[in-house]
């Protein structure tokens, strides 16, 4: 069949690593050299046609729908693709595919709720106890996820150089752990904003339980709406939210931070970044993070001076996110029977692929986790060295 001949010619160009493919006609072919990273079963020519139309969308949808099965670590698919870019570039990454979810202020609540309002009970099954859903910070690869997430929060709070009585804004405050810890540890007053109804409800309850409800407040609102109010903060932090701003809205974000941050104030932006400017992945856009965009590091750095921001520190935590995602995937797979009670097999296959492909993107691909620290205007009272981060 023509589908098999075409895909066979592409797979024959794998020169680094190896895989074994079983086809719908009962044949099996080994590609590459050495021990196979995984075994793939392509059950129907329709799966190949979908891959030829668009590699990531066609492959991931075929896996979700059971037209492709994988025996072996899913993360190794991303490894094989990264190691054989020339071969897989022939399966044009975004060919014939338009993004389904343009990012606009009106659409943003629905786009955020698509992912984060799957239910707190779902996320509790595989996140750490603090419900922190962003890159952890590992002192060693053997650290538990709980310890690494506490270390991440501590690392960011030290970068913010907080003092008692300061006002801290958390844009995209998640389930509230960072803001609650800041109030407990540094005596600041904090305000967190989110567009997720589930996160908002959990954050309020968590602040009450932690005894800081008088210091910390949460609001269900867009950062742009908050920026239109006469309010000012000494410090602003954003963890894992900038990826949802959208490619053409990055200046909107920095304009809002500029209006909300006091002169001389300091901000930390914790976000996934890419090596180069790229078009959003159509499968991620359709199923996981509609409207999202992962910026290149140079895009962010280029925008800072436009808004009178001075970059004071940059750190790349790429392997930390690989470790985080790999642990999330292990926990997700252990909890799969419970997740199947909430959703279905297709949902589980979708999330398994999302977590595994994301881990591969950080370990083998072009994804990084960037922490940018910057001041509004010049900050001449900053420490001369970075020792304060590691005391």
Q: Which residues contact 206 (CB under 8 A, 6 or more apart)?
A: 131, 175, 176, 177, 180
List Cβ<8 Å contacts ≥24 apart for 344-352. 345/66, 346/64, 346/65, 346/66, 349/63, 349/64, 349/66, 350/60, 350/64, 350/287, 350/288, 352/74
What's the confidence (pLDDT) of residue 194? Answer: 96
Residues 300 and 170 in one domain: yes
pLDDT in tens, 100-132: 557 767 777 777 888 888 899 999 999 999 999
Report which DSSP code applies to 218: E
- The bridge status of strand 189-194 relative to strand 261-273 is unpaired
- The bridge status of strand 368-376 relative to strand 261-273 is antiparallel
Cβ count near 88 (within 10 Å)? 18
CATH number at residue 277: 3.40.50.150
Q: How long a stretch of residues is the chain?
A: 391
pLDDT in tens, 171-221: 999 999 999 999 999 999 999 999 999 999 999 999 999 999 999 999 999
| Portion of the chain with pLDDT greater than 90, in percent | 86
Residues 180 and 59 in one domain: no
Distance from C-alpha of 21 to C-alpha of 28, rounded to nearest angstrom: 6
Residues 15 and 144 in one domain: no
Half-sphere exposure (CA, 13 Å, Cβ side) for 356?
Answer: 20
How many structural domains compose the chain? 2
Residues 55 and 199 in one domain: no
Task: Give me the domain span that covers residue 47.
Answer: 2-88
Burial class (CB in 10 A: 0-12, 13-18, 19+), 341: exposed
């Amino acid at each position: 069949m023509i589908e098999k001949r075409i895909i066979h010619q592409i797979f024959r160009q794998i020169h680094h690593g190896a895989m074994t493919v079983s086809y719908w006609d009962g044949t099996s072919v080994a590609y590459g050299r050495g021990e196979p990273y995984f075994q793939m079963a392509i059950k129907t020519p329709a799966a190949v046609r979908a891959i030829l139309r668009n590699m990531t969308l066609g492959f991931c949808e075929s896996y979700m729908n059971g037209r492709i099965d994988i025996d072996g670590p899913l993360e190794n698919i991303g490894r094989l693709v990264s190691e054989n870019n020339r071969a897989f570039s022939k399966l044009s990454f975004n060919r014939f595919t338009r993004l389904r979810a343009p990012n606009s202020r009106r659409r943003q609540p629905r786009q955020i709720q698509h992912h984060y309002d799957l239910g707190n009970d779902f996320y509790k099954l595989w996140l750490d106890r603090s419900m922190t859903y962003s890159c952890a910070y590992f002192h060693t690869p053997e650290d538990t996820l709980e310890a690494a997430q506490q270390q991440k929060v501590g690392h960011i709070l030290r970068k913010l150089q907080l003092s008692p009585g300061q006002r801290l804004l958390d844009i995209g405050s998640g389930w509230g752990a960072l803001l609650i810890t800041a109030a407990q540890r540094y005596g600041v007053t904090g305000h967190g904003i989110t567009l997720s109804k589930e996160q908002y409800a959990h954050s309020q309850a968590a602040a009450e339980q932690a005894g800081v409800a008088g210091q910390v407040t949460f609001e269900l609102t867009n950062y742009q709406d908050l920026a239109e109010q006469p309010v000012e903060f000494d410090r602003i932090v954003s963890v894992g939210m900038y990826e949802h701003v959208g490619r053409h809205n990055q200046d909107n974000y920095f304009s809002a931070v500029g209006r909300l941050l006091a002169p001389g104030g300091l901000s930390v932006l914790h976000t996934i970044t890419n090596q180069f400017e790229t078009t959003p992945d159509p499968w991620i856009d359709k199923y996981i993070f509609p409207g999202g965009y992962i910026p290149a590091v140079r895009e962010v750095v280029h925008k800072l001076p436009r808004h009178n921001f001075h970059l004071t520190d940059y750190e790349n935590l790429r392997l930390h996110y690989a470790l985080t995602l790999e642990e999330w995937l292990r926990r997700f797979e252990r909890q799969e029977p419970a997740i199947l009670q909430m959703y279905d097999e297709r949902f589980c296959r979708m999330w398994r692929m999302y977590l595994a492909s994301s881990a591969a993107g950080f370990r083998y691909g072009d994804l990084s986790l960037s922490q940018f620290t910057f001041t509004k205007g010049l900050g001449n009272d900053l420490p001369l060295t970075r020792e304060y981060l590691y005391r």
